[in-house]
Amino acid sequence: MGSTAHHDREGVGRRDLIKRSAALGLVAVPGMGLMSACASSGGGGQSKAKEGKKTAKNPLGVNDTAKMEFVLFDGGFGKEYAQDAVKIYEKDFPKATVKFAATQKIQSTLQPRFNQGNPPDLIDNSGAEQMDMGVLVGKNQLADLTPLLDAPSYDDPNKKVRDTLRPGIVEMGQFDGKPVWILYYAYTVYGVWYSQKALDSLDAEYPKTWDEMLQVCEKAKKKGMAGWTYAGKYPYYIPFSLYPMIGKVGGREVLDAIDNLEPNAWKHPAVKACFEAYYELFKKGYILRGTPGLDHIQSQTAWAKGEALFIPNGSWVENESANVIPKDFDLAVSAPSGIDSSDKMPFGTIWASGGEPFIVPSKAANPEGGMEQLRIMLSEASSKNFTAKVKSLTAYNGGTSGIDLTPGLKSGVAALQLAGTNVVNPRLQDWYVQLEKEKIGVSGLGEMMAGRLTPAEAIKKIQGFADEAAKDTSIKHYKHQ
């Protein structure tokens, strides 16, 4: 992640990262309101391909002679995984021609085609030039993907595609609970990252309660190691472990109320308990000295060198820090520690969500072909191929057996297995980018963790920011249904 753009945490940014590395679990979450794509429909349009006959092998009724056009974002994940999936489409429909292209300039290449009414059939709408999803949905320019989700899965005709997906994928593709417009293909695990070797050297286990967390940090401190560090300059990394902790302590509805910008949502006792817990890390001197001045790379480097035990981050950290993580580090991720046994959700409750948004335009000439290509990509074989090649999980719930997983990826899979259905997906970072990054992150959490605000002051300030955003008529508001 480059020092300027990486902190577009909605994932549309991390521009340099996208360009330069096959980032593990790179998130391309919808950048609502990020680029107001001048999406006016109209223009010439194109004639739709006639639907083909629906059969067991062709459940979406793809016209087997129609051309299918697929445009991929040429980023951190490369294009090989998609080209491999295209070959399967060509094998299944030998009379069809597939036009495949990869570009970093998604918006400048494709927005004019949306406006003219002749967009491709499948698009990976990602990267610095991602088209604004909110605008595309609002202008009815995307096809509803429900037919794909309700189709039999590629591997098992008795299972629908939707039944093979990881938790939260279907919901992420919805706006205001309406049909599913987006299919996120990659899958990121957020949490507390650490070296299992370092934890073992302290003769400690990963702490499940906050008292245990403080004990582990005290042990680390006695050995000259800080308990925590984080991206002090970009403190909206802190929520990667703090938000799921709030959900664990108070239940999902607390996070939903925060996402919905409800009055007093931040004043919930669970928020107060978690803010006070994190503040204790500062008060007891368990945070690496100088952390508030570090950026993401500096904090990750200090952590990889063993100067701090824990860091809140996402699963791209394995790839992004590959050049500084020692060979015997034994990278691991865990769900956040809770407060105590009164928490509403069990230990293991974690934040994980989709990235790499794929869309089928409503004016595509061959939308069935676009959806069929996605159905192929959501097969076990294509999913395994992606994971093996780019060190990231996919939306397909499985696809890791028989692959030589890296330590972080293996740990991420184990964390998801432990979580089961206890996966939370806070949407604030997708829906209200500026509120989440600049205000809650920098002015709220960053100031509190640096000791310049008490938890009570931080809560009051953040609630004020949320109330302002709720009243701001210039931004589109979203709600959990």
Residues 33 and 179 in one domain: yes
Residues 159 and 184 in one domain: yes
Determine contact, residues 184/353, Cβ cutoff 8 Å.
yes
- Per-residue b/e over 72-94, b at no fewer than 16 CB within 10 Å? bbbbbbebebbebbbebbeebbe
Q: Which domain holds residue 95?
A: 15-188+353-404
Determine contact, residues 39/113, Cβ cutoff 8 Å.
no
Average pLDDT for residues 155-164, to the nearest whole number?
Answer: 97
- CATH code, 121: 3.40.190.10
Higher pLDDT, 74 or 469: 469
pLDDT at position 391, please? 82
Our count of domains for the chain comes to 2
pLDDT at position 276, please? 98
pLDDT at position 168, please? 85
Residues 314 and 381 in one domain: no
Higher pLDDT, 109 or 30: 109
Beta partners for residue 310, in sequence order: 194, 228
> pLDDT class for 186, splitting at 50, 70, 90?
very high
Residues 316 and 390 in one domain: no
Residues 145 and 158 in one domain: yes
Rounded Cα–Cα distance for residues 464 and 470 (Å): 10
For residue 479, tell me if it sits in a domain: no
- Average pLDDT taken over every residue of the chain: 89
Residues 98 and 233 in one domain: no
Residues 146 and 256 in one domain: no
Residue at which a domain ends, from 372, 389, 404: 404
For residue 412, tell me if it sits in a domain: no
Q: Which of 229, 233, 236 is nearest to 311 (CA)?
A: 229
Residues 184 and 196 in one domain: no
pLDDT at position 176, please? 72
> pLDDT class for 467, splitting at 50, 70, 90?
very high
For residue 481, tell me if it sits in a domain: no
Rounded Cα–Cα distance for residues 316 and 392 (Å): 8
pLDDT at position 320, please? 82
Q: Which amino acid is at 27?
A: V
pLDDT at position 303, please? 98
> pLDDT class for 4, splitting at 50, 70, 90?
very low
Residues 369 and 314 in one domain: no
pLDDT at position 31, please? 37
Determine contact, residues 206/341, Cβ cutoff 8 Å.
no
Average pLDDT for residues 131-160, to the nearest whole number?
Answer: 92
Q: Which amino acid is at 289?
A: R
For residue 236, tell me if it sits in a domain: yes
Question: What pLDDT, in 10s, does the model give residues 204-247?
Answer: 999 999 999 999 999 999 999 999 999 999 999 999 999 999 99
pLDDT at position 310, please? 98
Determine contact, residues 370/364, Cβ cutoff 8 Å.
yes
pLDDT at 311 over 50: yes
Higher pLDDT, 284 or 389: 284
Residue at which a domain ends, from 404, 419, 435: 404
pLDDT at position 83, please? 98
What is the C-alpha end-to-end distance of the chain, expressed in Å?
Answer: 34
Question: What pLDDT, in 10s, does the model give residues 342-382?
Answer: 999 999 999 999 888 999 999 999 999 999 999 999 999 99
pLDDT at 337 over 90: yes
Residues 128 and 234 in one domain: no
For residue 9, tell me if it sits in a domain: no
- For the chain, how many residues are written? 481
Rounded Cα–Cα distance for residues 179 and 175 (Å): 8
pLDDT at position 14, please? 37
pLDDT at position 456, please? 98
> pLDDT class for 44, splitting at 50, 70, 90?
low
Helices 380-390 and 367-377, packing angle to 10 deg:
70
Q: Which amino acid is at 344?
A: K
Average pLDDT for residues 99-128, to the nearest whole number?
Answer: 93
The pLDDT > 90 percentage for the chain reads 73
Average pLDDT for residues 41-61, to the nearest whole number?
Answer: 82
Rounded Cα–Cα distance for residues 389 and 169 (Å): 22
**90, 126, 352 from 382: Cα distances, Å:** 14, 20, 21
Residues 271 and 300 in one domain: yes
For residue 366, tell me if it sits in a domain: yes
For residue 259, tell me if it sits in a domain: yes
Q: What is the 3-state secondary structure (H, E, C) of the chain?
A: CCCCCCCCCCCCCCHHHHHHCCCCCCCCCCCCCCCCCCCCCCCCCCCCCCCCCCCCCCCCCCCCCCCEEEEEECCCCCCHHHHHHHHHHHHHCCCCCEEEEEECCHHHHHHHHHHHCCCCCEEECCCCCCCCHHHHHHCCCECCCHHHHHCECCCCCCCEHHHHECCCHHHHCECCCCCECCEEEEEEEEEEEEEHHHHHHCCCCCCCCHHHHHHHHHHHHHCCCEEECCCCCCHHHCHHHHHHHHHHHHCHHHHHHHHCCCCCHHHCHHHHHHHHHHHHHHHCCCECCCHHHCCHHHHHHHHHCCCEEEEEEECCHHHHCCCCCCCCCCEEEECCCCCCCCCCCCCCCEEEEEEEEEECECCCCCHHHHHHHHHHHCCHHHHHHHHHHHCCEECECCCCCCCCCCHHHHHHHHHHHHHCCCEECCCHHHHCHHHHHHHHHHHHHHHHHCCCCCHHHHHHHHHHHHHHHHHCCCCCCCCCC
> pLDDT class for 1, splitting at 50, 70, 90?
very low
> pLDDT class for 328, splitting at 50, 70, 90?
very high
Average pLDDT for residues 454-479, to the nearest whole number?
Answer: 94
Beta partners for residue 5, in sequence order: none
pLDDT at position 401, please? 84
> pLDDT class for 177, splitting at 50, 70, 90?
confident
pLDDT at 27 over 60: no
Rounded Cα–Cα distance for residues 237 and 303 (Å): 14
For residue 284, tell me if it sits in a domain: yes
pLDDT at 23 over 90: no
Place of tokens 């794929």: 358
pLDDT at position 20, please? 31
Residues 49 and 176 in one domain: yes
Average pLDDT for residues 183-197, to the nearest whole number?
Answer: 96
For 17, other C-beta atoms within 10 Å of its C-beta total 22
pLDDT at position 77, please? 83
Question: What pLDDT, in 10s, does the model give residues 418-462?
Answer: 999 999 999 888 788 789 888 999 999 999 999 999 999 999 999
β-bridge pairing 183-195 and 350-359: antiparallel
Average pLDDT for residues 239-259, to the nearest whole number?
Answer: 98
